């Protein structure tokens, strides 16, 4: 499994449904519903134009969208935003900033989850949640104030290239998010009492 396996939709959806949804539901105090439950055609349109993967339904309050990314944990904690594709096609960075500026639909919440591989099994290690608008505007401001971004990982926000496909990601240090974004929630420990129905194991899943 590669460092960023959110591109494998089946694994990503399975891990999110089994382990991440219960924790996100608690953190956001709402029911989590997948976009794919609407219809295949409509969910593709939503994913393409809005980047919304899930809905969070807050009883008697309303509904908000969630953008989800699942990553392999490698000892560091960052939010990541795809900033450049090797194909030259439009990235989520451009799409979200356009949506924010034009007031189109985009994920209200940005969720990133980290799994660690131990003996071919995957443990949920981290979940970080923030508001998409706050995160993207913070990155935009940081780029402007610092005349762009570099690949210097000692900086709070830096560029990282995925060697498997050549795509660039902006990595935002979690500490920087805590210090600069008002809304921030986190789950930082291994999941307890979480059971995968397919492999009948607690705490981890060896099916995916």
Residues contacting 88, CB < 8 A, separation 6+:
none
pTM of the prediction?
A: 0.81
**Is residue 45 assigned to a domain?**
yes
**Is residue 2 assigned to a domain?**
no
pLDDT of residue 138: 95
pLDDT of residue 73: 79
* Number of structural domains the chain divides into: 1
**Is residue 51 assigned to a domain?**
yes
Domain that holds residue 152: 9-205
pLDDT of residue 40: 66
Query: pLDDT in tens for each of the 208 residues of the chain?
Result: 334 444 445 666 677 778 889 989 999 999 998 876 666 676 677 777 788 889 999 888 899 999 988 888 777 789 999 998 888 888 899 999 999 999 999 999 999 988 887 777 777 888 899 999 999 999 999 999 999 999 999 999 999 998 888 899 999 999 899 899 988 888 775 444 455 554 444 444 433 3
pLDDT of residue 117: 74
**Is residue 171 assigned to a domain?**
yes
CB atoms within 10 A of CB 154: 7
* Torsion sign across C-alpha atoms 30, 56, 6, 208: positive
Maximum CA extent, the chain: 51
**Is residue 132 assigned to a domain?**
yes
pLDDT of residue 2: 38
pLDDT of residue 71: 85
**Is residue 3 assigned to a domain?**
no
**Is residue 1 assigned to a domain?**
no
**Is residue 100 assigned to a domain?**
yes
């Amino acid at each position: 499994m590669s460092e960023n396996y959110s591109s494998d939709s089946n694994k990503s959806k399975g891990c999110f449904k089994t382990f991440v949804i219960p924790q996100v539901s608690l953190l956001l105090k709402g029911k989590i519903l997948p976009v794919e439950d609407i219809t295949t055609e409509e969910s593709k349109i939503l994913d393409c134009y809005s980047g919304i993967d899930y809905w969070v339904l807050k009883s008697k309050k309303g509904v908000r969208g969630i953008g989800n990314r699942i990553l392999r944990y490698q000892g560091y904690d960052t939010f990541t935003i795809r900033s450049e594709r090797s194909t030259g096609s439009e990235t989520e960075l451009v799409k979200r900033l356009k949506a924010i500026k034009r007031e189109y639909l985009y994920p209200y919440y940005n969720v990133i989850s980290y799994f660690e591989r131990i003996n071919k099994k995957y443990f949920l290690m981290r979940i970080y949640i923030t508001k998409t608008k706050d995160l993207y505007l913070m990155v935009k401001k940081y780029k402007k104030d610092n005349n762009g971004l570099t690949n210097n990982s000692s900086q709070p926000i830096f560029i990282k290239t995925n060697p498997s496909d050549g795509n660039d990601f902006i990595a935002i240090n979690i500490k920087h998010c805590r210090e600069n974004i008002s809304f921030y929630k986190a789950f930082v420990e291994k999941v307890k009492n979480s059971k995968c129905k397919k492999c009948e194991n607690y705490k981890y899943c060896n099916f995916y």
